[in-house]
Structure 1
Amino acid sequence: MRFVAIPTDVARHYQAGGADANGQVPERQMSDGGGNPCRHCLKLIPAGEAMLVLAHRPFPKPQPYAEVGPIFLCAAACDQGGGEGLPEILASTDYIVRGYGDDDRIVYGTGGVVETGALMARAETLLQEARVAYVHVRSARNNCFQCRIDR
């Protein structure tokens, strides 16, 4: 099981002022340090650091299940996070964990809210299902995309 951040080329596009999923230039703000998870380095953006707020679609193309939502991103270039261990941005609270098929559509019956401590076990269970190609982790409170989990 591998946690996957948004691709570096996508992050650099946004960091260079490229249009987001809504065709807008990302907003530049300052992090408050408490709840601004970067979807590229998968770390919390430190207080006082510049960050981007933008609309992101974590799917290869528009279709009815390709949700678009707000995300935070370090304003400066950061290293891509991810890998086998639980990323820093998933260290507290609860999350929606949902499976998607090879067609990038929700696999019905796979979504649910889990506590952080149960996240990895739930993702492993979902990834054992043949119809689930990957899993999204989203905020349980705001439905914002956090990261993807692959086999």
Structure 2
Amino acid sequence: MTKIRFQALPSEIARHYREGGKDANGHVPEKGVSDGQAPCRHCLKEIADGKPMLILSHRPFDEAQPYAEVGPIFLCAENCERHPDAEDTPDMFLGWEHLNVRGYGADNRIVYGTGRIVPTADVSKYAEELLEKPEIAYVHLRSASNNCYQARIERDAAD
């Protein structure tokens, strides 16, 4: 069985946005206040109600191309500790009913037929199944309701 690891947004990317770097649409991130239901893609925790947050457009791919989706994400406006790479589904997602899980090839394009809305309890199992296929380089974890990027899942380097 393939071992997996969930990966939060890298710290250098979060730092770029926090320091006023432009987002995927060429804008400085908007500042907002969390209602307690804004998932930070760096610490993988809900940003507490009343806390400052950033709202921005993010492209979780190295370069623009037809399959490089751009979408909104939230970040803690203040520095937060990056969620460590983990084999288990990060706690933040455990309270969510479903997640969208989708496989991508080494060319950063969706591998058709892999996208599926999965009960959160089954996310790891489905990601492992996808990553057993040689044509799948990595997996995206996205919200089931809005398709927003949440995290990346890769094969564990030790596997």
State the TM bucket, normalised to the shorter chain. Answer: over 0.9
Does structure 1 conserve the Cα–Cα contact (< 8 Å) formed by 2:88 and 2:124? no
| Other structure's SS at 1:54 match | strand
RMSD of Structure 2 on Structure 1 (CA) = 0.8
Q: 1:23 maps to what in 2?
A: 26
Does structure 1 conserve the Cα–Cα contact (< 8 Å) formed by 2:39 and 2:47? yes
Deviation at 1:83, TM superposition (A): 1.7
Does structure 2 conserve the Cα–Cα contact (< 8 Å) formed by 1:97 and 1:135? yes
- Which blocks of at least 5 consecutive residues in structure 1 are unaligned? none
| Other structure's SS at 1:55 match | strand
CA distance in 2, matches of 1:119, 1:76: 30
TM-score, reference length from structure 2: 0.92
CA distance in 1, matches of 2:17, 2:97: 27
Farther off after superposition, 76-85 or 3-12: 76-85
Deviation at 1:47, TM superposition (A): 0.8
Structure 1 segments, 4+ long, off by >3 Å, are: none
- Counterpart of 1:14 (choices 7, 13, 17) is 17
CA distance in 1, matches of 2:18, 2:138: 26
| Other structure's SS at 2:121 match | helix
| Other structure's SS at 1:21 match | coil
Deviation at 1:37, TM superposition (A): 0.5
Q: 1:53 maps to what in 2?
A: 55
CA distance in 2, matches of 1:88, 1:20: 27
User: Following superposition of structure 1 onto structure 2, how do residues 1-151 of structure 1 map, counting pairs within 5 Å?
Assistant: 1-33=4-36, 35-81=37-83, 82-91=85-94, 92-151=96-155
CA distance in 2, matches of 1:88, 1:55: 24
Deviation at 1:129, TM superposition (A): 0.6
Paired positions, count: 150
Farther off after superposition, 43-52 or 87-96: 87-96
Deviation at 1:31, TM superposition (A): 0.7
CA distance in 1, matches of 2:142, 2:92: 11
TM-score, reference length from structure 1: 0.96
CA distance in 1, matches of 2:121, 2:150: 16
CA distance in 1, matches of 2:92, 2:40: 8
Deviation at 1:13, TM superposition (A): 0.5
| Other structure's SS at 1:83 match | coil
| Other structure's SS at 2:135 match | coil
Does structure 1 conserve the Cα–Cα contact (< 8 Å) formed by 2:7 and 2:153? yes
CA distance in 1, matches of 2:76, 2:31: 10
| Other structure's SS at 2:117 match | strand
